Chain A
Amino acid sequence: MADAESALAEHFEELPQQRDAAKLGMWTFIATEVLFFGDLFMGYIVNRLAYPQAFALASHHTVVLFGTINTAILLTSGLTMALSIHAARADNLKLSGRFVLLTIALGLAFLAVKGLEYHEDFHEHLWPGSHFRPDLPAQAQIFWFLYWVMTGVHSVHVIAGVLVLCIIAWMIARGRFSAEYHTPLEMTGLYWAFVDVIWIYLYPLLYLINRYAAS
């Protein structure tokens, strides 16, 4: 059984204070991350307004099936993550651990699908540069550049999340957490929700908008 006392760092007075600090820290970090992605969203908006037709044509070539599957996978992983925290609060650490493992599996599934999609994109000559598809307008490269950077940076965040979740799973297995103390699990859940939300914006921007408008 986890000992809540041992989790308290020496510079905190009590556990709730430490938990509040961690929570505020994670929210602050997420605010930073929003601005980090915000830069790319701004680049997307500016170029989309500048070259609406090229962006519409370029977006036809994203593989909407893969994107949709991945959306389903990631949203489901958000559910399993939340259920894991729920289970921990109810002091059912065993169940909590299982949900974490499920979340890890879904995260890996997302990355696998993304890998397949990248493979196909690459073969379709959608990597900007000299080998870019000649049938698309030049500005379509900007769309595809943003596609690779935005999904790439997002995937890096998924990988980071999966790695952290592995540590969390290990901590649960070692009996570090209890109903009173499972702050790292909760913080990882917050982070995972953020990764989810970013994808919820990326999916329509890259796969859906204008897809059927001009052809």
Chain B
Amino acid sequence: MKRTPSKTVLVIGGGIAGMEAAARLRQLGLQPILVEKSDHLGGHVADWHKLFPDMSEAAALVEKGAAALDGVDVRLSTEILFVNRLRSLYNVMLSSGSNVQCGAIVVATGFSLFPAEKKEEYGYGIYDHVITNADLEKWFNTGEDPRVTDDVRKVGFVHCVGSRDLKAGNTECSKVCCITAIKQAIEMKEHFPEAEIYCFYMDLRLFGKRYEDYYIKAQRDYGIHFIRGRVSEVGENIEGKVVVKAEDTLSGRPVKVTLDLLVLMAGIIRNPDPLPYDRRGRIPPKQRQSRGHHRI
């Protein structure tokens, strides 16, 4: 296929959003190039097990997205080295050594999960049975994690770990952790039907289509307990169980719960934008080589 620079669109990030964007651009007759820094497509979803609010398979979504990339120039294990502006095009240097000229750039660089060990009081990486939402998805997929034992009877989910937290340096709401916690709580209940499951939340921010139904289902059909209070501290008792302290703010009493497993809903931190904007919010033009002013 002959590439026309003005019709070329560079999509940065091979997660679900980037894949979807590239596929749609192709349908519109443009020539997308999808650049992904890791060696596979799918982003965080590739490591996930099932998706809210319908428990569809994460792998199926990634597969479906990949299948729609027919005609898209996909470049894995590739990063952006620099970008500058030409008269009506962008000039992009890739880590593979190739140079791309394109008419537009789509930034779909996604997010990173908040490093849960930074909320020191929750003891991630210190106490034996404290894991994150991402660890739990991995366990759903592989069944392998020494922190999740076979006889789990009590599980806690801590919402807003590193979200809406001035002290942790991230004041934003991560938007999807509440619904993810509900999904994971339901999945845990399916794995361990005998288990009591507690969600410790500040506010339940369930804005999407069918999310509220999912919440009702978690309460009604799965008996998941929702405690309105942010977890204040986590410890470990002599049996290695997790001891969690929070306030049940609706009854106004401190509560202490001993659990077999604590899942921290690590929040979402936006990844830094890879594009070099100037003060006016534009990508600066390519510097002309100055002549006669070399400093030696």
Q: Do A and B come from one complex?
A: no
Which residues on B are within 8 Å of A, measured CB to CB?
A: none
